[in-house]
Structure 1
Amino acid sequence: MNEPLQDAILNGLYDSSYPGHEVLGPKLLQNNKQENIWLTLRQELLSCNTFTWAVAFVTQDMLVPFKVVMADLAKRNVTGTLITGDYLGFNNPKVFRELMKISNLTVKITPQAGFHAKGYLFDHDDWQTLVIGSANFTRAALLSNYEWALKISSKNNATLTTQIAQQLHELKKTSTPLSASWIREYEQNWVKPQPHSQIHVNEAAKIVPNKMQVEALRELKGQVADGQRRGLVVSATGTGKTYLGAFVVKDFKPHKFLYVVHREQIAKKALKSFYQVIGGNPTDYGLLTGHKHQLERKYVFATVQTLSQPEVLASLSATIFDYILIDEAHRAAAPSYQRIFAKFKPQFWLGMTATPERMDDQDVYRLFDYNLAYEIRLREALEEKMLAPFHYVGVADYEVDGASIDETANLRRLLAPERVDYVLKQLDYYGYCGSQAKGLVFCSRQEEARELAQAFSERKHPAIALTNEDSEKRRLQVVRQLEQGKIDYIITVDLFNEGIDIPALNQIIMLRNTQSSIVFIQQLGRGLRKYPGKDYVTVIDFIGNYKNNYLIPIALNQDDSRSQDKAREESVLPSFIDVSTINFSQIASAKILASLDKIKLDSIKELRQSYQELAEKIGRPPLLFDFYRYGSTSPMVFANNHSLGHYGEFLAKMGEPVKLNGYESAVLSFVTKELLNGKRPHELLLLKLLLEKEQVSQEEFEKKLHDYGAYVNERVLTSVENILSLSFFDIKQGKTTKKEQYGGQPLVVKADLLDYALAPQLMQSLLQNNTFKKLFVDVIKTGLAMNQKYDNQKQFTLYEQYDRKDACRLLNWPLDVSAPMYGYRVDEHETPIFITYQKDSAKKRNALYHNTLEDGRCLRWYTRSPRHLESDEVQRLLNTPQMKLLLFVKKSDAIGKQFYYLGQVDIQKDTVKEELLGPKKKVAVGMNLLLEKPLSTKMYELLFDE
């Protein structure tokens, strides 16, 4: 048998019948939703002995995630060389200065004319990996552009490797080391390159709503049509809130419109924006401020200070305005605003705010009748390119003798010169976009803020502390000093969570414990408004031994799953929101994982808090679909909680009156536990149809599935009947069957063997118990929403998670045989194989089976024992024509019952043999399973990287 590297090359470049190799095999790298080129480069960096890159163009916006990896490699004494140049003046002088900060990177400048190479070479023990293609070391090329790069590995003495090594040797020999003097000379002669094509922007060009604004407009129009009188839009800072208001007013066509805000400057700016969108006669637009009273105009832009004056209100009719927009609506609880609310009776009140969560406990949602029309979240805004991208770096806080100095330490240790020096060193290393730092530092105590500002200033980083003891005038003065470059940093304590906007910020520094996801995102959002010359924001988070560290990756990724497994993944692997990157140093990652081990994300206590927060937002007890819509907690958390049968039981725990009989409770448990996950839409769609009409023909059902984009065949239709008749669950579990636990009666029956109908008992409950019907319909609606992430043309969606029971159902088996399945089950047509890659305990039965990713080429897998080559099960597995082998893998038993689906696999027949396993030398049959679709870099790192 050939060695793995030889087989991998033959598989990729000669004949796919040779065994492939997830790590060594040739691979075309691209940027898509599943992975990007940077993930592959990062994985190679973390596993190589050294590296040499020859890359023409480097941009500063890709250096932050690169520096995180290089800092970790420095601790292992791994070094590398980067050869670049000055071709076309593309590389900004600051890029070269930033590269010089990386201590374990040698940078060389080639004099080669027209140097346009893009190659990345990584040295391993006796082999090398080369990535070569169209991708420069820029954020766009490695994360988002349509690029092609070929990744290929070879022995050190291969011809290709020798050619590349020779080229690099020549480049190194003729290149000069990067130096401060070279950078100074380059900067003196550097002319910023102009884009190849100058796009002339027409200032008068028509402004049209973006995708998210279109959705908000639709929701608001629906509220008006439904007879609602008030609505609230929550829109992150910098996401076009004012333009959205203008689009809404243009669509409504009011006879007279009023816009209310707290500052004249904002009113004037809003007037200009509304005119750009709505147009018409400029004399239709007027101001109501301390200086102007243009109340006769059609569109009136007022300051609350002027409008709320008794004599002004008295001069106006209650119905003079038919549409009123309150900007910065989180201020609307103030007495001045309340006088305005009491006076006017428009057809509709619209509130708009970026920060509805108030620190003063004023309920903004209640003021607008809990009609949250639309919410533009940070992640969505970044994906729609409404905000400046960010590069987040989680680093460990300063340590002395192995113990972190963090905010729990006494003030003397917090302000120790060594810690201040360490903090400033990290700020300098990870840098910022622009010629000067304009940073906002969040710390934990007022005295700390003042003394840190002094310590920063003494180290030639001018800083001023701002606390809630400072006046509004003082705050604005200091912000102006930062914007003008007179200081580098503002150091504060929770002062800038909301309200004040500083578009010029290019660094956000967290020197405090993360107590709340909401506050964390508010603080992050302070720096994300777009600003001329700002390509990105650097966010540096100093992570100590805090019990709430687990909140950081959850907040950054806006992860509502409350899944420990998902949170671990987000803590270890880099993640991306469009071209924003989230990176943790290895030490910081370990601190987050330690805090995660001490918290139960899906406990009733956690769910109660989430429930109360959402109830305050919408003004009523939330249903499952509300949790899905507002993204606070995944509905699946309630379904997976072992102490709850269904969401009605949770509502009862929260003190809500929920009256259900035993049958109704059992039915809700069934639809919640079995259908809510949305992994197959078929049963949900049939129940939805039957809620709309008494009988549904099979032809109608098939058409509904076809229109929905779901696969249809005889086996799946039979399976749906087995599920909804509960016969699938007629399996003993202790003293009862799962069928009995779910009520024992079919939910759907066949009338005349052709038409589907709801069972009489279910129909009776739906007609007589409104609470039951509301909860039942809620599960159906939410389940179909949860289904949106699955590929409904297939039984399983690649890289989604499934458990053994899911496999039984989605493979259309007549019974749930997941309990005795263990690692696999050989059926007539399909064999699902479930592998736990890392065994938690050598004592466990499945620990006997060393399911290793053998040299990375394919997965070594074993049957149960005792099994021989002649065993009936093994023969069926090996010799059934067109047997489909489906592979599901999880990393360890600690993450629960869910396995990632990695696709179909083929058995490498020449690897099949009997082996003696474990201390008792039991006989099993081992074989290599070769994946039909190569693993994505991210899945390889998540499941198989040690």
Structure 2
Amino acid sequence: MENINQKMFDSLQRGFMNREHPVTTNFRPQLLLNDENNQVLPTILQELKHCTEFFISVAFITESGLAMLKTALWELAEKGIQGKIITSTYLNFNKPKVFHELLKLKNVDVRLSDLEGFHAKGYYFNNSDHSTFIVGSSNLTANALKMNYEWNVKLSSLENGELVTNFVEQFERVWEHSIQLSDEWINTYESTYQAPQFSDKVMEVPSQLMTNSLSETIQIQPNSMQEVALKQIADLRSTDAKRGLVISATGTGKTYLSAFEVRAFRPKKLLFIVHREQILKKAMSDYKKIVGGTDEEFGIFSGSKKEVQAKYLFATIQSISKEEILNAFDPEEFEYIIIDEVHKAGAKSYIKTIDYFKPKFLLGMTATPERTDDINIYEIFDYNVAYEIRLQAALEEDMLCPFHYFGLTDLVIENELIDDKSTFNNLVSENRIDHVLERAEYYGFSGDSLKGLVFCASIKEANELARLFNERGYKTASLSGEDSQEKRESIIQQLEEGLLEYIFTVDIFNEGIDIPAVNQIIMLRQTKSSIIFIQQLGRGLRKHNSKEYVTIIDFIGNYANNYLIPIALSGDQSFNKEQIRKKTIDMDLIKGISSINFEEVAKQQIFESINNSKIDGKRSVKYEVTKLAERLGRQPKLIDFMLNDSIDPEVVIGCMKPSTYHNVLNYLKMETEDISTDQDLTLYFFGKELMNGKRAHELILMKALILNGEISKADFLNQLKEFGTRTDAETINSMERVLNLDFYQTQSKKIYNYPDLIEVTTDSYQLKLDVSNEYFKDSLLDIIEVGLLKTTQYDQYEMLTMNKKYSRLDFCRLKNLDKDLTSVLMGYKIVDQYCPLFVTYRKDDKLATDVHYGDEFLSPDVLKWISRTPRTMESEEILKIMNHKELGLKLPLFVKNSSAEGTDSYYLGEVEYMTGSAQNEKVKSQKNEMVSAVSMNYKLEVPVEYSIYQFLTN
């Protein structure tokens, strides 16, 4: 293995002399821009993770920027790693509160530079054998770390390098002449502090409420997302639809949207129905601002108020749904009716009210239409989804308050992590309270005063924790479904006014409660539902001028359903285990300046949960199929799952053996028709081999033949050209071999055993498959449509798409090999002009293999690889690999994290042998015998994409 001097020399060669020079480390110079592969925040976090000491020099620091590093700094403190930060009071940018936050970092010494115009921006990380520093434009702010277009140079150096020596010397010189940060200094700064006229990120009252210089209300206009929604609602109404549903994440302005719609519709009379009077008054206030009109035109129908003559009537469902009240109204009295939080519409009071009135249009609004009972909200609204925007899209559009999510490890008691079997005494023990409070205080909140919600597992736990937190000096209260509406409103008001700091609750704040000032949410219960998780997280996502972000602190115990956390945060409903694993690591999971931070132990708990879950099993598939059927008002086709961002169709069919949607529907006791065994096997073949969309040729041909019975080869080639894919003879021949089963091994032929699909003549293709059964025909076309939609994810000309996943069988098919060589490819094998390399990065110790190979990435563009045994540098196959360029032998690389991911691996492009890197090695077999192998380094043509690199190596 080359020494550190050679690694550093190669990196400098690469960075300053020849960008083609191969390197085997991450030492090469980089420009960090916050683009796809060169991001500031992940790079800093990665350096922090491995350093033995760190220095940071930045003029500007925001609470939000600091929050993004807090988990990494906490874990460094646990390891005893110390650091230093120099900052300043330049331009009064740094708020007094951020200095309080800096004092919480027990392993970080902080000083204030008194240099005039101090504006330095640099990050230094010392390691055992080298140092890395990042210098450029990025202050320690959320925008600079994650969003802004930045220019930062990352350089690495040995201890005696002149540049790094100068950096450290300059840092120490400024450090020696800087002021120690202390409570006394902060108090003095706070007493004279005047905020500047700018901020890194100012969260203001929505622009729709801004007034002009004369304090006259400007005509409030919809934002861009509301304009899209209004058009879609108008388009729905133009079809003579009588009902429509708006699905919009909490905090995205559903009430404003409905008011704009009413302003456009101009009904003679409106009824707006809510389930709580508190929401009713706020809705009426918003309508007055947008719709306009006199006070007399707006009225309330709730409790003792019965202002039935009002043009715009705002009513609680409890009041309006009473039998004698309904009968007093003409069923056509209201031209337009709006129901807020319409997912509650399954209740008898809602059904009775909806059935009674006959408006020209009925609009329902909800953030969560999915229900756990048997009520189908979509059916109530005639399956008309007028508009939908979920959490991820709302965050990307800056419609919600940013958040910093911290997935932390819950308390370990007697070597056991808290779980759903933990006793009540452990849940409310002094040690757990210490644990929770320590983290809550460390991660803090945005704003001047704490306004927090704590979600507990039971009413008993909420009551007891509220009492114990009170004893610790916090102002708290507990609320549950057992408390009256008056008490709930009183407690909420106390939190908003700063008389309380925490409300402890179970589930009553999942929905329908609007407390925009909430700036910290603590989750002390297991995640049983991704819907409830988002509902609870959403309690803090409404924008408010008292906060820049909301802190979400989730204590992750040893729970079976931990896999729901990345599903909820990402919004990925594919139920694909590999995707969920990857998104648990992906730091860019949430767009904008929000961030996701998992402690390493908590991350491992999630991985274990994913591995052990049956998320892709029959039960999950049944739930997702039923849910989509409720939304569509009919039995879904496979293509419907794709069109509605639901579960991956491959997961749907994969839960049954043999894997066909026909068998899934039979299992679910849904509508099917009888088909023959041969037809079932044909569906199995199409679903397993073609539906993945990795090659379009078979799909395009079979669609044409099923619809028309015959197609000329000339017309087929024209269709391929129009599709933008290959038309060479080798690919066409490969397609034909797949469709007549000649490509497959004997065992696969026995499994599929379908009748001949096509007949190939000199100038045409003809369909031999009997598709007279319309159900069978439609099922085939459904699979084909899914496959064709999936082809858009792949390069249909090059056939192998960078960073996409492929199996050994896929490689053989897409590279036009005559046969499926899956059984002999194994880790690598020379076939034709290829030697594909299949690497499982994290080996399973339980696997019955002779040797656990030590393949590893030395950097994003260099892989250290070890051959099979027994091999030496004189072995024939090793010599061919070392001389592959001269022999015209291509080395495509496929890598997966572990065997738990199944058969597919990421295609990372072609690699080349790094001359001189091969060495004879002795590796230990499972029998503890030393056997011979060869190690060598491969240079990747393109460095591994950052998120995939993190996933593979983490």
TM-score strictly above 0.5:
yes
Q: Is the 8 A contact 2:340 2:364 kept in 1?
A: yes
Q: Quick one: which of 859, 863, 885 aligns to 1:859?
A: 863
Counterpart amino acid of residue 398 in structure 2: K
Tell me what 1:494 maps to.
Answer: 507
CA distance in structure 1 between the partners assigned to 2:628 and 2:759 by the alignment: 38
Q: How does 1:545-944 map to 2 (within 5 A)?
A: 545-571=558-584, 574=587, 576-578=589-591, 579-641=593-655, 643-658=657-672, 659-685=674-700, 687=702, 710-714=724-728, 718=732, 721-722=735-736, 725-727=739-741, 729-733=743-747, 737=749, 741=752, 743-746=754-757, 753=763, 759-762=767-770, 764-765=771-772, 768-770=773-775, 772-790=776-794, 794-828=798-832, 830-841=834-845, 844-845=848-849, 847=851, 849-854=853-858, 858-862=862-866, 871=876, 874-875=879-880, 878-880=884-886, 883-912=889-918, 926-944=935-953
What stretches of structure 1 of length at least 5 have no aligned partner? Answer: none
**1:464·1:478 contact (CA, 8 Å) conserved in 2?**
yes
Deviation of 1:631 after TM superposition, in Å, equals 4.2
TM score, norm. by length of structure 1 = 0.89
Give the SS at the match of 2:551. Answer: strand
Indicate how the Cα distance of structure 1 residues 666 and 76 shifts in structure 2: closer, same or farther if over 3 A, else same.
same
Mean alpha-carbon deviation: is it higher for 303-312 or for 537-546? Answer: 303-312
- The within-5 A match list for 1:262-301 is 262=275, 287=299, 289=301
1:395-474 paired onto structure 2 within 5 Å? 395-405=408-418, 408-474=421-487
Q: Which residue of structure 2 aligns with residue 112 of structure 1?
A: 115
Kindly state the Cα deviation for residue 370 of structure 1 after the two structures are TM-superposed.
4.1
How far is 1:690 from its partner? Answer: 5.7
Q: How far apart are the structure 1 equivalents of 2:505 and 2:279?
A: 25
Residues 328 and 824 (structure 1), Cα distance of their counterparts in 2 relative to 1, 3 Å cut: same
- Residue by residue over 1:8-55, the C-alpha shift from the partner in whole angstroms, topping out at 9 and shown as x without a partner, is 221122113421245111122232355631111111111111111111
The number of residue pairs the alignment matches comes to: 931
Partner of 1:141: 144
Q: Find 2:172's aligned residue among 169, 173, 181.
A: 169
- 1:942 is aligned with what amino acid? F
3-state SS of 2:150 partner? coil
Equivalent residue number for residue 514 of structure 1 = 527
1:228-256 deviation digits (Å, cap 9, x = unpaired): 54332222211232344356567778787
Distance in structure 1 (CA, Å) of the matches to 2:749 and 2:510: 53
CA distance in 2, matches of 1:943, 1:455: 44
Please give the secondary structure, in 2, of the residue aligned with 1:153. strand
Given that residues 729 and 737 in structure 1 are in contact (C-alpha distance below 8 angstroms), is that contact kept between their aligned partners in structure 2?
no
Letter in 2 for 1:625: I
| Structure 1 letter corresponding to 2:939 | L
1:489-536 per-residue CA deviation (whole Å, 9 max, x = no partner) reads: 001121211222211111111112222222222211111111113211
Provide the aligned C-alpha RMSD in A: 3.7
Matched to 1:486, the amino acid is L
Q: How does 1:175-214 map to 2 (within 5 A)?
A: 175-195=178-198, 204=218, 207-208=221-222, 210-211=224-225, 214=228
Q: Give distance in 2, aligned partners of 1:12 and 1:519.
A: 49
Alignment deviations for residues 691-721 of structure 1 (CA, whole Å, 9 cap, x no partner): 666666667666766666x444426851673
Q: 2:70 aligns with which of 63, 67, 70?
A: 67
What is the alpha-carbon distance in structure 1 between the residues aligned to residue 329 and residue 718 of structure 2? 58
In 2, Cα distance between the equivalents of 1:256 and 1:679? 55
Cα distance in structure 1, aligned partners of 2:939 and 2:801: 18
- Show CA shifts across 1:604-640 (max 9, x none): 2333344344444544444333433444532221344
For structure 2, the 5+ residue unaligned runs are none
Q: AA paired with 1:901? A: Y
Contact 1:263 1:303 in 2 (8 A): yes
1:87 to 80, 90, 104: 90
Is the aligned partner of 1:236 residue 2:249?
yes
Q: After superposition, what is the alpha-carbon deviation per residue over 1:525-573, rounded to whole angstroms, capped at 9, x for unaligned?
A: 1111111132111111122233333332333223334344444444556
Identity %: 38
| Candidates 369, 372, 393, aligned match of 2:406 | 393
Q: Is the 8 A contact 1:575 1:583 kept in 2?
A: no
Amino acid at match of 2:728: E
Question: 1:786 Cα deviation (Å)?
Answer: 3.8
Tell me which amino acid in the other structure corresponds to 1:598.
Answer: N
Classify 1:296/1:398 alpha carbon distance in 2 versus 1 (closer, same or farther; 3 Å): closer
Alpha-carbon distance, 1:804 to partner: 1.4
Asked if structure 2 preserves the Cα contact closer than 8 Å seen for 1:267 and 1:287, the reply is no
Between stretches 311-320 and 418-427, larger displacement belongs to 311-320
Q: Secondary structure of 2:612's partner?
A: coil
User: Secondary structure of the equivalent of 2:525?
Assistant: coil
- Of 301, 326, 339 in structure 2, the residue corresponding to residue 326 of structure 1 is 339
Q: Alpha-carbon deviation of 1:350? A: 2.6
Contact kept in structure 2, 1:73 and 1:79, CA below 8 Å: yes
- What SS class does the counterpart of residue 332 from structure 1 fall into? helix
SS at match of 2:105: coil
> Aligned in 2, Cα 1:842/1:649: closer, same or farther, shift over 3 Å?
closer
More displaced stretch, 601-610 vs 49-58:
601-610
Distance in 2 separating the partners of 1:695 and 1:837: 47
Go from structure 1 to structure 2 and tell me whether the alpha carbon gap of 1:394 and 1:266 turns closer, same or farther (over 3 Å shift): closer
Contact 1:4 1:857 in 2 (8 A): no
Report the Cα distance in structure 2 between the residues aligned to 1:868 and 1:490, rounded to whole angstroms: 68
How far apart, in 2, do the equivalents of 1:86 and 1:613 lie?
55
SS in 2 for 1:129: strand
Question: Quick one: structure 1 residues 270 and 401, their matched pair in 2 at CA, closer, same or farther if it must change by over 3 Å?
Answer: closer
Q: Matched residues in 1 for 2:721 and 2:768: separation?
A: 28
Q: CA deviation at 1:586?
A: 2.2
Name the amino acid aligned to 1:583. Answer: N
* Contact 1:719–1:813 (CA under 8 A) maintained in structure 2: no
In 1, Cα distance between the equivalents of 2:563 and 2:873?
Answer: 47
Closer, same or farther in 2 for the Cα pair 1:439/1:21, shift >3 Å? same
Aligned mates of 1:246, 1:750 — CA distance in 2: 63
Question: How far apart in 2 are the matches of 1:287 and 1:715?
Answer: 75
Q: Secondary structure at the match of 1:651?
A: helix
Change (3 A) 1:513 1:821: same
CA distance in 2, matches of 1:810, 1:278: 60
The CA deviation at 1:896 is: 1.9
- Which residue number in structure 1 is paired with residue 15 of structure 2? 12
Amino acid at match of 1:818: T
The verdict on how the C-alpha distance between 1:843 and 1:350 changes in structure 2, with shifts beyond 3 A counting, is: closer
For the Cα contact (< 8 Å) 1:286–1:294, is it kept in 2? no
How far residue 436 of structure 1 moved from its aligned partner, in angstroms, is: 1.1
Deviates more, 1:39-48 or 1:690-699: 690-699
- The structure-2 alpha-carbon separation of the partners of 1:577 and 1:81, relative to structure 1 and needing over 3 Å to count, comes to same
